[in-house]
């Protein structure tokens, strides 16, 4: 994958700490700015350049390459792929630059909506009360919903404002590999590496499942840091109780502090994400195009950004207008993979099937709890997904009085924020709706 990105990349010039790099297109430019800047900087430094800032250009501006690069004088960046680290361990402290973390992952660049507001607020609170507020902080949610962005934003904020604080960011896979290496090669210093930091941020914790010795090692690491009031932040695609084969004592420790989920973004949040990302690229999309993209991709921010990047690159390269027609032609395959029309009947049927109750019971006057809660969830989804009026919602669920619909929607809206099980049920049904 890296060879593909770097093949058409060239160092144009280097002057006063500023490296100018040519990339193939706007999509590549966005990817380099978001993901590969630390590796580009590392490659430049290997060639004797002390880089303060990297500027990316699309194509090759009329500017000769003046950088002092390798001994053969070439300005090509052919060795960039060799600079890519094989493991995702990133350490930030007074001994290493703050921009080792992905500089794009900041609080300012994170789009806040109802689906992630609680997690965002908790992460901000942690930065001002390290080790005492929400320790550990456990953030979980489905793929592509912004967990990595948010927990790295904590690291970037601390690194920028507290250079005396030592931050270690890594994936659980890196922790596993380091632990295995320490055993296999009898390496020393494994414990010190992880137990002497001030803030440990570990991502993809679900991958520690089934690895008993690694869980034992992390258990002792966790205890050492927690007892010293050091901050622990964990990202996962599952809550602690849903990670298979996780030891009970580790699961209980993950639940000591604050456990918060990030849900699928609502329509307004998706529109805000598209607008923010398109503005960063220097292109403003028409409102109808923004709403079209937000309506097509509903369950994954990463997928949404990918579709937007494809549209921006196509518009740039082919000199097209970013209209709904252009987006529709480009994303036709995406559209075909999703339901053409989400109807009220479809939502009610899916809620009944998920809840394992008969449609007749869901539409009946029965007040049994195992029927009432799914009925309220169905009303909530009819409101949030289809924006139906309360009288129409009541009609779809066999109610005569629309105040029942108002009460149900209000109750589930509050429960989604406060009740873990309700959040899980609503998220699971939404995934079924847009699968």
Report, at the CATH architecture level, how domain 2-83 is classified.
2-Layer Sandwich (3.30)
* Residues ≥6 apart with Cβ < 8 Å to 187: 181
Cα 144 → chain centroid: 5
pLDDT value, residue 100: 56
CATH architecture of 267-336: Orthogonal Bundle (1.10)
Tell me which DSSP letter residue 325 carries.
H
Q: Work out the angle at residue 108's Cα, subtended by the Cα atoms of residues 103 and 114, and round it to the nearest 5 degrees.
A: 125
In this predicted structure, the answer to whether residue 92 has a pLDDT above a threshold of 60 is: no
Task: Look at residue 202 and tell me whether its pLDDT is greater than 90.
Answer: yes
Closest CA to 378 of 401, 346, 421: 346
What integer pLDDT is reported at residue 216 of this predicted model? 93
pTM of the model: 0.57
pLDDT of residue 76: 42
Instruction: Name the pairing type of β-strands 258-262 and 137-141.
Output: parallel
pLDDT for position 26: 61
Among 50-64, 68-82, 202-216, 222-236, which stretch is predicted with the lowest mean pLDDT? 68-82
Write b or e for each residue in 74-111: b if 16 or more Cβ atoms lie within 10 A of its Cβ, otherwise e. Answer: ebebeebbebbeeeebbbbbeeeebebbbbbbbbeebb
d(CA 42, CA 84): 9
pLDDT tens digits for range 274-299: 988 888 878 889 999 999 898 888 77
Q: Which two tokens stand for residue 417?
A: 């924020």
Sorted by where each begins, the domain ranges of the chain are 2-83, 90-262, 267-336, 344-433
How many angstroms from the chain centroid is the CA of residue 420? 20
Query: In the chain, what percentage of residues exceed pLDDT 70?
Result: 84
Query: What architecture does CATH give domain 90-262?
Result: 3-Layer(aba) Sandwich (3.40)
Residue 312 or 187, more confident: 312
CATH number attached to the domain at 344-433: 1.10.1750.10
């Amino acid at each position: 994958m890296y060879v593909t990105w770097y093949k058409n990349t060239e160092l144009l010039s280097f002057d006063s700490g500023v490296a100018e790099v040519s990339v193939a297109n706007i999509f590549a430019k966005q990817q380099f700015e978001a993901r590969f800047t630390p590796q580009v900087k590392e490659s430049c430094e290997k060639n004797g350049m002390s880089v303060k800032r990297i500027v990316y250009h699309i194509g090759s501006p009329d500017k000769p390459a003046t950088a002092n690069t390798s001994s053969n004088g070439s300005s090509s960046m052919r060795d960039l792929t060799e600079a890519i680290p094989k493991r995702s361990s990133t350490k930030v402290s007074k001994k290493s630059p703050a921009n080792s973390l992905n500089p794009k992952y900041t609080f300012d660049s994170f789009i806040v909506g109802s689906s992630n507001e609680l997690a965002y607020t908790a992460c901000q609170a942690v930065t001002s009360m390290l080790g005492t507020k929400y320790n550990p902080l456990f953030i979980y949610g489905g793929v592509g919903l912004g967990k990595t962005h948010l927990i790295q934003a904590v690291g970037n904020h601390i690194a920028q404002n507290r250079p005396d604080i030592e931050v270690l960011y890594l994936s659980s896979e890196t922790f596993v590999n380091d632990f295995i290496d320490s055993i296999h090669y009898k390496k020393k210093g494994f414990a010190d590496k992880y137990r002497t930091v001030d803030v440990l941020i570990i991502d993809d914790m679900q991958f520690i499942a089934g690895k008993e010795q690694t869980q034992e090692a992390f258990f002792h690491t966790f205890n050492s840091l927690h007892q010293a009031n050091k901050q622990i932040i964990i990202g996962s695609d599952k809550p602690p109780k849903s990670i298979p084969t996780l030891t009970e004592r580790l699961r209980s420790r993950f639940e000591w502090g604050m456990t918060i989920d990030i849900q699928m973004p609502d329509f307004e949040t998706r529109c805000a994400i598209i607008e923010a990302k398109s503005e960063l690229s220097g292109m403003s999309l028409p409102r109808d195009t923004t709403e079209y993209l937000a309506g097509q991709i509903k369950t994954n921010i990463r997928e949404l950004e990918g579709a937007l990047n494809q549209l921006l690159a196509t518009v740039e390269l082919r000199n097209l207008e970013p209209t709904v027609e252009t987006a529709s032609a480009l994303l036709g395959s995406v559209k075909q993979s999703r339901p053409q029309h989400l109807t009220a009947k479809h939502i009610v049927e899916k809620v009944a099937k998920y809840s394992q109750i008969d449609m007749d019971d869901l539409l009946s006057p029965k007040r049994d709890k195992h029927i009432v809660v799914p009925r309220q969830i169905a009303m909530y989804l009819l409101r949030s997904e289809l924006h139906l009026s309360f009288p129409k919602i009541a009609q779809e669920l066999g109610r005569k009085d629309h105040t029942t619909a108002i009460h149900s929607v209000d109750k589930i809206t509050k429960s989604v924020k406060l009740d873990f099980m309700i959040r899980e049920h609503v998220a699971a049904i939404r995934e079924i709706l847009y699968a």
